[in-house]
Amino acid sequence: MHTNQVYSELVTVNNGPHKWWHRRWVKIIGIFIILLIVFAVILALVLNFVVFAPKKSETNTTVTALSSPITTTISTPPSLSTTSSPPPTIISTPPSLSTTTPVVAPTTNVLETTTPVVAPTTNVLETTTPVVAPTTTLPQTTATTTTQQLEWSVTGNMNNARNWHTSSVLPNGKVLVTGGEIGEWNGNVSNSAELFDLSTGIWTTTGNMTNAREWHTASVLLNGKILVTGGYGNGYLNSAELYDLSTGTWTTTGNMTNARQWHTASVLSNGKLYDPSSSTWTTTSNMNNERVGHTASVLLNEKVLVIAGSIEGRTYNSAKLYDPSTDTWTTVNNITSPRERHSASVLSNGKVLATGGWNDNIGTLNNAELYDPSTGTWTTTGNMSNTRDLHTASVLSNGKILVTGGLGDGSLNNAELYDPSTGTWTTTSDMIDGRYIHTASVLSNGKVLVTGGRNDTVSYLNSAELYSLFETS
């Protein structure tokens, strides 16, 4: 009996009801589902990083210089129906860059842009709820960049090396160079003349002057002839000569009352004080002070401003104003720094810019000052980068002033530009040769021709160079 009971209990335990998850086929299916999920995950990763990855990296960027801003517009496609159309997103970039970039993102056919959008496809249901797309508007800017390429170039050499000469731009565009010292150190004073042809870059000799001279002046008269006066040759000269471009010859004209060198000559609109028709000179009232190494500038009101200079090695800071209508001189306010061997340029605004020079107490100067005819006063402006005297200053077609060479720490080959609108100087490219006591002429094409002069290394120069200012917007 006891035995049967034990057997019966064992049977009951072994043949009791099984749970459904204990069945073998359920376990097999479960394992299969797990494997299927793992496979699906692996497949998704492979598709995401192997198949779709190259598409994400396909970005075409085009940078194009345009004068107008680029606009990217994002609008809603027809597949999205709303009660109100969302405003477009406008992104404006500065006009200097135009960029077209395909946008890669999870693709939903909701936005239609001017750039391709790639993503998994999702159908968006129609809704009456207004969809508002974020609108970002960046301020449009217009930037104009002007690049300037400044360049010196070599042109034909003169037939004679010379300094203390003159150069004049003739009505036909050629440049006439006259006299000066030629040869080596302490060379001979010359009566030779030569012509530069801009179209060929070649120098040709023309008729010689009657008198050899240096430290003289040459003026282009209203009738097209060239008047050469004074200077030093066989002593101090009071003689004058006329060059006729049509014949290439010189003729003597009436002598000045006084012999003079290192003086100035200014062409007045009324033809005074030399009359070409009668070849006669008329004396006018005297300045209060005798002087050399000064400058004389014809102002826009036809008056003549004489600046500084020296006498017996002592530099002046005085300035005088000559009125042709009354034939009188008046004293105006003094320039701040006494100077000689400086330059003076009449700006397009009517003011006069005095630059550099020599001061008997300081030495070579780098400062600059402006004279205002409307007030008769001087004001200081920006200093040049280099001290210099015996240099040249030329008014360019863009209104800036080009200062070249001169004597500073030896003969200088550098050049600087003065901007009247800012009152500042900027250095530009260097000349090939350092030079002082040279000439600079603004040609009909806007270029500047620099000729001759003296150099510390090779003494007198016969070389010539052209300065060009290129502007590109």
- Does some domain include residue 75? yes
Do 138 and 238 belong together in one domain?
no
Residue range 41-93, pLDDT digits in tens: 888 887 877 666 544 444 443 333 333 333 333 333 333 333 333 344 333 33
Same domain (yes/no): 434, 398: yes
Domain boundary residue, one of 128, 145, 162: 145
**Per-residue pLDDT, 52:** 61
Same domain assignment for residues 129 and 151: no
Instruction: Give counts: helices (H), strands (E), the chain.
Output: 3, 42
Q: How far apart are the first and last CA of the chain?
A: 119
87 and 181 share a domain?
A: no
**What is the structure's pLDDT at 46?**
79
Boundary residue ending a domain (145, 160, 176): 145
* Of 110, 145, 180, the domain-final residue: 145
| Within-domain flag for 196 | yes
pLDDT at 185: 62
Structural domain of residue 398, as residue ranges?
147-262+384-472
C-alpha span between 243 and 214 (Å, rounded): 16
pLDDT of residue 454: 95
Residue with structure tokens 């002033």? Answer: 401
Phi, psi of 446 (to 5 degrees): 90, -10
pLDDT at 22: 59
Distance of alpha carbon 83 from alpha carbon 86, whole angstroms: 9
Domain membership flag for residue 234: yes
Taking the chain (473 residues) in runs of 10, the rounded mean pLDDT of each run is: 41 46 73 88 80 48 36 36 37 36 36 36 37 40 43 95 97 97 81 97 98 97 95 96 97 96 92 84 91 96 96 94 94 96 97 98 97 97 98 97 96 97 96 97 96 91 91 43
Provide the token pair at 394.
Answer: 């030329």
Is there a domain that residue 205 lies in? yes
Report the domain count for the chain: 2
> Does residue 9 lie within any of the structural domains?
no
The neighbour count for residue 64, using CB atoms within 10 Å, is 10
Return the pLDDT at 20.
Answer: 52
Residues 121 and 171 in one domain: no
pTM: 0.69
CB 381 within 8 A of CB 405: no
Tell me, yes or no, whether 243 and 174 share the same domain.
yes
Q: Which two tokens stand for residue 16?
A: 């009791």
Q: Does residue 313 belong to any structural domain of this protein?
A: no
Query: How high is the pLDDT of residue 81?
Result: 35
Kindly state whether residues 258 and 389 are assigned to the same domain. Answer: yes
Same domain, 96 and 82: yes
Same domain as 126, residue 224: no
Q: SS3 of 200, please? A: coil
Asked whether residue 102 is assigned to any structural domain, the reply reads yes
In a domain, residue 272? The reply is no
* 70 & 200 share domain: no
Residue 225 has a CB neighbour count (10 Å cut-off) of: 19
Same domain, 257 and 184: yes
Q: Specify whether 399 is located in the same domain as 464.
A: yes
